[in-house]
Structure 1
Amino acid sequence: MTVERIPLVEIKNLKKYFNVGRGAVLKAVDNVNLQIIEGETLGLVGESGCGKTTLGRTIVRLYEPTAGQVLFEGKNVHKLTGQQLKEFNRKVQMIFQDPYASLNPRMTVGDIIGEGIDIHGLYKNKERTDRIYELLSLVGLNKEHANRFPHEFSGGQRQRIGIARALAVEPKFIVADEPISALDVSIQAQVINLLMELQQKLKLTYIFIAHDLSMVKYVSDRIAVMYLGHVVELTTSEDLHNRPLHPYTQALLSAIPVPDPETERKKERILLEGDVPSPINPPKGCRFAKRCRYAKPICTEQQPELKEVEKNHFVACHLY
């Protein structure tokens, strides 16, 4: 008998629009539906400006949605108040893209990590100090680092401090918003391996937002591909790389460099022509149609729905 895995997070018809003046509205996230199963990593990929970060920030309540719902453990997170809201803020944390901007330069590392512990009243006095040292050790830093300030650390070390801060309140779910894009290539693998080790050790669930598809494949169980506010493809990491169905996903995967020069020469590169349409005035129908080599008349008239075209493989495209 198979046990149905219950989603930890459900995103239902989520929209997030921004007023940008003169009556114009920027549609950053437009009708997104996703489920995140407890214990998994859902990768979220797409070009800059496709709405990945906005989606992540709306999930953790940094933004209020224009429409739709985010459910965490079955509760609508944007309706929570009082003790329920405080509990949600403890269980759901975010690791930010820029470790330089996301740490308060006037606070010591110990106070940065200890702030969440104090707000939620988790540990006091010596226990608090010991917990901060434990967290520093967990992310590969020393307890001596607790009395230093953020400017005394490298980018990779600062991101480790950001991870320790997120873990301080013992969360269940973490939104990692491009946590390695601001780091040197040599440090990126270390931070990725650290996140994966912590997931196993602490039973965490992740949304991992990134540009780098090869890195997302390495860390993710499933991958959602976003284009201009929409999810256009969703499937397992393996299926997405072996059998991408959406023309946009095919183009993204064709751009990944291959280590073997001979294979690289034979590989077909799909070059996308034209610019990404404006999210302020998105085209009618499929938003990818003007850049798609398979576009048909229906593509410019009717917006495709995200449908399951193969087992656990969802795609929003009129080709299927």
Structure 2
Amino acid sequence: MLYSTVTPAEKRRLFRERLASGELLRFPGAFNPLSARLIEEKGFDGVYISGAVLAADLGLPDIGLTTLTEVAGRAKQIARMTDLPAIVDADTGFGEPMNVARTIQELEDAGLAGTHIEDQINPKRCGHLDGKSVVDEDTAIKRIRAAADARRDENFLIMARTDIRAIEGLDAAIDRAKALVDAGADAVFPEAMRTLDEFEAMATALDVPILANMTEFGKSELFSVEQLRGAGVNMVIWPVSLLRIAMGAAGRALDTLNDEGHLTSKLGEMQHRADLYDLIDYESYNHFDSGVFNFTLTKE
């Protein structure tokens, strides 16, 4: 009932234990709190909260228009709805190194298990679009160092994302990743890798976990979990997939309303009311209400 009974600190501790085991952890992207609960129900390892999804939810493009307040607030709503660890996209950290430090503490307070900070210039662009630019290595290092120094829970995961592969190539990406690990990053998110060999080269070069971004319509081929595991990847995200599927279904439903005037033909595609009630644990609320309001008066 209500929110997760697992504390954020415990979620972080358990997450770091599993990450240290070397197994590959699967993090589908939640587009709202209810979808986070569905991800947990289906047996996944964690929840990813995409900056692109948070921006799209506001009707905005993924070009750095969202604020720390918006991201932390929505991420908190999503993270508290599940027992799973949740990782959120913090873009470039919302400013200079001091802003990055504040970002980390706000996200800790919001109950997140970790975040990633990228090395694009601010404002950023979607990682799979052309025309990106990255900051110099010194600036990128200062962001990660500020993030690592600011955290209060040692289990809060500081992940460094680098977008330099699409600009300067794989060798530059490996060199940048090594520098960011030296600056304090616990894991690396190499964006827009093109082949399994590139993922394997990154994993071989680093002694920290790496994350693969399996976003549709991007620069990377959509590799399977087994393929990524074989390449040494430790985490995989599908950041926008559920939103894309949900919006595609919503568009088709609206077309059906226009064409047929009702949604009878779509009933088989809908989540049933009973399934929704199970997912939100409706019965627990009924039980709570009964315990509070069902009482008898006694005469003294």
Superposition TM-score, scaled by structure 1 size: 0.33
Q: Which has the higher helix share?
A: 2
